[in-house]
Structure 1
Amino acid sequence: MSHSTQLNTETINQQAARHDETADNISQQLDQLKSQVEATLAASTSSATRALSTTTDRWVESVRKSVLDHLHAMAENMRREAKNQDAMDSDSMQSILNVPMETGNFLGV
C-alpha cells in the first residue's frame, strides 16, 4: 500500500476549518463556564465567590487571547500556505509546459 505525504488544498482547508471549529467550541465552553460562575455569584456574594468570578473572568480572557487567537491564526496560515502551494504548482506546471518541444517530448509532457 502506497502512502503519500503530499497534501492537497482541499485537505489543508478542511484541517484549517477543524481548527476554527475547535476554537469556536472552546469559546462556547468558556461562555458556558462564565455563565455558571455568574449564576453562582448571583446566589452567593461572598468574598470567595467574587474572587472565583474575577479569577474566572481573567482566565477566560487569557485563554481567548492566547489559545483561541492562535488556533484562528494557525487556520489562516494554513489557508494562505495552501493557496501559495496551488500558485506555485500552477507556476511550475506552466514552466514545464513552456519547455521547448524537443525537451518536452523527452520528459513525456
Structure 2
Amino acid sequence: MAHSTQLNVATIEQQAAKHDETAQNISAQLDQLKQQVEATLAASTSGATRALSMTCDSWIESVRKSVLAHLQAMAENIRRESKNQGATDEASTQALLNLPMELGNFLVS
C-alpha cells in the first residue's frame, strides 16, 4: 500500500478530539486538586493553609484560562481548517469536472 500525506476527515477529527479529551482530563485533575486543597483547609485553617488555598485557586484559574483555552482553541482551529480544506477540495474537484471532456481525459490518463 502506498503511503500518502493526505489526511482524511476522520483522522483530523480524531486529532481534534484528542485536544478536547486532554483539556477535559486536565480540567478533571484541577477539580480534584481543588477538592484536596479544600479538604486540607477544612482540617486546618492556619494562615499557611489559607495561603495554599488562595495560591491554588489563582493557579487553577490561570491554567483554565491559558492551557485549557489554548487546547480548546486548537481543536476548534483543526476542525475549522479541515472544513475549509474540504470546501477547497470540493471546489477544485468541481472545476476539474467542468473541464472539456478532451482535456479531462488527458488529465485522468
Deviates more, 1:64-73 or 1:6-15: 6-15
Deviates more, 1:79-88 or 1:4-13: 4-13
Q: Percent identity?
A: 74
What stretches of structure 2 of length at least 5 have no aligned partner?
A: none
Alignment of 1:67-82 (within 5 A): 67-82=67-82
Cα deviations by residue, 1:55-109 (Å, 9 ceiling, x for unpaired): 0000000000000000000000000001111111100000000011111111127
Aligned to 2:65: 65
Aligned to 1:4: 4
CA distance in 1, matches of 2:7, 2:38: 45
Output the amino acid matched with 1:56.
C
- Give the aligned length: 109
TM-score by length of 1: 0.95
Paired residue secondary structure (2:95): helix
Aligned to 2:15: 15
